[in-house]
């Protein structure tokens, strides 16, 4: 049946879709347009420029690219992204899914529930758990000291701040990748791999030559999703380290918050937010390019 | 038929929403009482302001004297830095602005410039108590336009707290009054040498502690070098004084490791960890603190200590090299303020005036250990007998107030960030000064800065 001649249907469709478009426009497009505008102003949270802000052109962006803290935050963001999202969540999620594949039901449930527990825990609660876990009097020190590996307690959040937030984010987010890979791996027909096995392909070769290419689409989708999510991670880092000590865990989202809401530089903070948005778009395009898969 | 019903759906939904809003509006209008929304910073379960409100029945008394008026408490539980942000956000909209609120006076000029604060001059002119307020505190509530935007709640006095036990054990003569920065470091070295498990000095350096970092650490040092942050309408961004200030912090936290550990120094509750836990156990020697620090040790505080004046001492903060002036102090303080959007400004001022009368203002300052803003408080026995009160008053001899400029609040958060980066080893003192210059210039513009 063709849609031609069904104008009534089109009108209904439009009516039904209109609220969605309106909502999207109001809560998504409009804020982005506003952000673009605010990023070109000297708006502050308080003070005379809170009410009478001026258009300053690309001043904020000029400052931004000369700002050493911005470079530090970019570097921290990329480190955090590479370690906690790509190496951590993506690879670990894939490995866990691979290990669980074809195992008994009870094993899959047990592992699945353990991993998913981290995922369903809200971000700030994850942060509180990890702060308790890593603090001087925390369980990590207690275990390591009990086993005789450490002589005295270490303040992990002070001495190894980036590693701390990376581990917390991996623990929190791996389940998402795992679930995606489980579904993808289950959809690979066993006959393909069996054929390869008969042809004499080793385990690694089968993984590299067959399994991975067949879940390529999932790898790409997952990469994009977790990259965007990780770029936006704020609560976890802010609650664990506040971006510190100093600037050691200040990622772009933390820096944006600090500039906009601690230093009251709303215009400048918005400029950082736009850069963050742009970074997400660029990385997504890169992934699609590398995997040669359209979304 | 089905299609018509579907089309009606959004309409029905819209109607429902409209009804809901109308209902809400009607409910609000039907309330008979005039409600004053009162916002303040809430500091944990044992908040001194809440204790005062409760013990002295402030709200009940005010409501009894003003029938038909209800004071609605709307506390913001947060750290000092977050409070200013959350408050500024609330103040920016007529829908969320409280009528009356507590405001740190460092924000007064900034918030006044944005038009968030009601000018109180017309009210103060007709208020006889105003003459009793100390001049320094009156200066603190002024905007850049010279008008008053608050009634002071408190003022403060800053200096060095020390433990008699720790200093004596290290062979330092007490009562202790260092004459220069070097003497402070010297004493700290002795403490460290005698017992490495004792933290010799605590300076506030965690940005999470907000304004304390700027006033209590950075300013107390900088203003002792002869430099100030702001002179003749311009911000000092590069000087030997700034560099020496950063060098001192670096010596304490990095070079000589004379500080408390970073895990304590950067914690949200670092002040109470040091003064309520380490000081009473003789695990910390010296702390560059404020008069409220003694609030930890009063009978109602978290770590009560009997005869506290024999256990801990208070020394004025010496200037860098001593000489004249010999000591330095920064006065801050909080104020009561009224939102520009308040529809009940007269009543709101009535409430403020009630809180700020001799009896109530003095009683309040006894709860958190800050100084009363009123000159007549000293005639109230309980206040005059408070531990350390003589030292505190004497300490206010060479006092400075923070720059009266609307960019101060933004400059201050940069100072906080830089001091934390320096103390945690991310910046050297030289880099810290370069950062200081770059970030302050970014905020105020190059034409509003100068070098020495």
Instruction: Write the CATH number for B415.
Output: 3.40.190.10
Residues of A in contact with B97 (CB under 8 A): none
Confidence of residue B231 (pLDDT cuts 50, 70, 90): very high
Q: Is B321 found in the same domain as B177?
A: yes
Residue B188 resides in a domain: yes
Question: What average pLDDT does range A159-188 have in this prediction?
Answer: 93
Mean of the per-residue pLDDT values for chain A?
90
Strands B327-331 and B399-401, by their bridges, are parallel
d(CA A219, CA B210): 44
**Residue that is written with structure tokens 């190894």 in the block:** A160
Residue B430 resides in a domain: yes
pLDDT at B23: 45
Q: Measured in Å, how far apart are chain A's first and last C-alpha atoms?
A: 28
C-beta neighbour count of B98 within 10 angstroms: 24
Q: Is B259 found in the same domain as B237?
A: yes
Residues of B in contact with A265 (CB under 8 A): 410, 443
Confidence of residue B8 (pLDDT cuts 50, 70, 90): low
Determine which of A263-272, B78-87, B338-347 has the lowest per-residue pLDDT on average.
Answer: B78-87
Specify the length of chain A in residues: 295
Residue B318 confidence (pLDDT) above 80? yes
d(CA B24, CA B28): 6
Question: In this predicted model, what pLDDT tens digit does every residue of A198-217 receive, in sequence order?
Answer: 888 888 888 888 888 889 88
DSSP string, A10-56: HHHHHHHHHHHHHHHIIIIIHHHHHHHHHTTB---SSSHHHHS--B-
Minimum CA–CA partner of A60 in chain B:
B442
Percent of chain A at pLDDT exceeding 70: 97
SS3 A222: helix
SS3 B328: strand
pLDDT at B27: 43
Residues of A in contact with B410 (CB under 8 A): 44, 47, 263-265
| Domain containing residue B135 | 31-152+334-369
Question: What average pLDDT does range B234-238 have in this prediction?
Answer: 96
Query: What Rg do the C-alpha atoms of chain B give, in angstroms?
Result: 24
Q: Is B346 found in the same domain as B288?
A: no
- Decide if B335 contacts B140 (C-beta within 8 A): yes
- With the CA atoms of B25, B27, B31 and B35 taken in that order, what torsion angle do they form, in degrees rounded to the nearest 10? -50
Minimum CA–CA partner of B441 in chain A:
A63
Q: Which residue in the set B114, B261, B262 is minimally distant from A47, CB to CB? A: B114
Q: Is B172 found in the same domain as B254?
A: yes
- With the CA atoms of B79, B308, B188 and B167 taken in that order, what torsion angle do they form, in degrees rounded to the nearest 10? -160
Contacts A–B by Cβ distance under 8 A: 110
Question: In this predicted model, what pLDDT tens digit does every residue of B10-26 receive, in sequence order?
Answer: 445 555 455 454 444 44
Question: What average pLDDT does range B375-383 have in this prediction?
Answer: 91
Q: Is B342 found in the same domain as B327?
A: no
Peptide bond into B325 cis (omega under 30): yes
d(CA B51, CA B26): 36
Confidence of residue A293 (pLDDT cuts 50, 70, 90): low
And the tokens for A2?
């063709």
Q: Is B214 found in the same domain as B117?
A: no
Question: What average pLDDT does range A32-45 have in this prediction?
Answer: 93
Mean of the per-residue pLDDT values for chain B?
90
Q: Is B345 found in the same domain as B219?
A: no
Number of domains in chain B: 2
Question: In this predicted model, what pLDDT tens digit does every residue of A60-78 receive, in sequence order?
Answer: 999 899 888 899 999 999 9
d(CA B328, CA B322): 10
Q: Is B345 found in the same domain as B228?
A: no
Question: What average pLDDT does range B421-445 have in this prediction?
Answer: 93
Q: Into which CATH architecture does domain A61-291 fall?
A: Orthogonal Bundle (1.10)
Is A133 or A189 the better-scoring residue by pLDDT? A133
pLDDT at B396: 80
**Residue that is written with structure tokens 């009634």 in the block:** B151
Confidence of residue B6 (pLDDT cuts 50, 70, 90): very low
Q: Is B260 found in the same domain as B174?
A: yes
Q: Is the dihedral of CA B390, B395, B397, B402 positive or negative?
A: negative
pLDDT at B1: 38
Q: Is B178 found in the same domain as B130?
A: no
d(CA B103, CA B90): 13
Residue B92 resides in a domain: yes
Question: What average pLDDT does range B39-59 have in this prediction?
Answer: 90
pLDDT at A250: 95
Residue B20 resides in a domain: no
Q: Is B174 found in the same domain as B143?
A: no
Question: What average pLDDT does range B364-373 have in this prediction?
Answer: 87
Q: Is B426 found in the same domain as B278?
A: yes
Are B414 and A263 in contact (CB < 8 Å)?
A: yes
Residue A1 confidence (pLDDT) above 60? no
Residue B203 resides in a domain: yes
Residue B393 resides in a domain: no
pLDDT at A246: 87
Residues of A in contact with B3 (CB under 8 A): 8, 12
Burial class (CB in 10 A: 0-12, 13-18, 19+), B151: buried
Confidence of residue A4 (pLDDT cuts 50, 70, 90): low
């Amino acid at each position: 049946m063709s849609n031609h001649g069904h104008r009534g249907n089109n009108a209904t469709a439009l009516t039904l879709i209109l609220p969605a478009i309106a909502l999207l426009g109001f809560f998504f497009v409009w804020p982005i347009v506003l952000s673009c505008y605010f990023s070109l102003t000297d708006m502050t949270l308080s003070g005379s420029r809170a009410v009478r802000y001026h258009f300053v052109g690309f001043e904020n962006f000029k400052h931004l690219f000369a700002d050493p803290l911005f470079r530090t935050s970019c570097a921290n963001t990329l480190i955090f992204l590479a370690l906690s999202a790509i190496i951590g969540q993506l690879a670990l999620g894939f490995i866990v899914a691979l290990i669980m594949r074809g195992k008994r039901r009870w094993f899959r449930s047990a592992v699945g529930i353990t991993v998913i527990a981290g995922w369903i825990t809200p971000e700030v609660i994850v942060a509180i758990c990890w702060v308790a876990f890593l603090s001087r009097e925390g369980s990590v020190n207690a275990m390591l000291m009990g086993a005789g590996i450490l002589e005295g307690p270490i303040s992990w959040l002070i001495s190894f701040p980036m590693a701390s937030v990376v581990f917390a984010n991996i623990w929190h987010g791996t389940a998402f990748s795992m679930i995606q890979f489980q579904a993808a791996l289950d959809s690979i027909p066993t006959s393909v791999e069996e054929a390869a096995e008969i042809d004499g392909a080793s385990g690694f070769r089968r993984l590299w030559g067959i399994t991975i290419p067949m879940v390529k689409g999932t790898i790409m989708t997952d990469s994009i999703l977790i990259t965007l999510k990780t770029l936006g991670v704020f609560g976890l880092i802010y609650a664990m380290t506040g971006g510190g000590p100093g600037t050691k865990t200040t990622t772009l989202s933390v820096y944006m918050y600090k500039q906009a809401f601690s230093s009251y530089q709303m215009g400048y903070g918005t400029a950082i937010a736009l850069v963050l948005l742009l970074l997400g778009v660029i990385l997504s395009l890169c992934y699609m390019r590398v995997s040669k898969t359209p979304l | 038929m089905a299609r018509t019903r579907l089309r009606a759906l959004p309409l029905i939904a819209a109607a429902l929403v409209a009804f809901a809003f109308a209902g809400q509006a009607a409910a609000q209008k039907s309330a008979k009482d005039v409600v004053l929304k009162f916002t303040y910073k809430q500091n944990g379960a044992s908040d001194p302001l809440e204790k005062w409100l409760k013990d002295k029945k402030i709200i009940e008394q005010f409501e009894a004297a003003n029938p038909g008026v209800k004071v609605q408490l709307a506390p913001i539980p947060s750290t000092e830095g977050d409070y200013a942000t959350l408050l500024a956000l609330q103040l920016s909209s007529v829908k969320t602005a409280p009528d009356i609120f507590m405001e740190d006076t460092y924000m007064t000029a900034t918030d006044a410039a944005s038009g968030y604060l009601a000018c109180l001059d017309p009210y103060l002119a007709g208020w006889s108590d105003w003459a009793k307020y100390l001049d320094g505190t009156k200066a603190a509530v002024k905007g850049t336009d010279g008008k008053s935007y608050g009634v002071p709640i408190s003022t403060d006095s800053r200096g060095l707290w020390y433990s008699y036990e720790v200093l004596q054990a290290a062979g330092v003569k007490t009562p202790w009054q260092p004459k220069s920065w070097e003497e402070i470091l010297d004493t700290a070295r002795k403490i460290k040498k005698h017992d490495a498990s004792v933290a010799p000095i605590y300076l506030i350096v965690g940005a999470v502690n907000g304004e304390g970092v700027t006033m209590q650490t950075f300013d107390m040092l900088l203003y002792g070098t002869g430099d100030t942050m702001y002179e003749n309408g311009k911000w000092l961004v590069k000087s030997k004084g700034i560099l020496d200030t950063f060098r001192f912090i670096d010596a304490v936290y990095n070079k000589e490791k004379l500080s408390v550990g970073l895990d304590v120094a950067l914690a949200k509750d670092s002040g109470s960890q040091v003064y309520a836990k380490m000081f009473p156990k003789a695990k910390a020697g010296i702390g560059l603190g404020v008069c409220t620090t003694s609030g930890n040790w009063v009978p109602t505080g978290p770590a009560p200590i009997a005869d506290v004046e024999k256990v801990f001492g208070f020394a004025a903060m010496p200037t860098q090299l001593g000489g004249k002036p010999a000591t330095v102090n920064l006065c801050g303080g909080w104020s009561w303020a009224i939102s520009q959007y308040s529809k009940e400004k007269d009543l709101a001022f009535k409430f403020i005036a009630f809180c700020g009368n001799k009896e109530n203002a003095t009683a309040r300052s006894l709860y958190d250990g800050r100084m009363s803003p009123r000159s007549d408080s000293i005639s109230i026995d309980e206040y005059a007998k408070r531990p350390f009160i003589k030292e505190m008053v004497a300490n206010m001899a060479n006092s400075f107030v923070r720059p009266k400029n609307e960019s101060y609040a933004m400059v201050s958060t940069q100072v906080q960030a830089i001091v934390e980066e320096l103390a945690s080893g991310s910046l050297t003192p030289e880099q810290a000064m370069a950062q200081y210059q770059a970030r302050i210039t970014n905020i105020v513009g190059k034409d509003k800065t100068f070098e020495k």
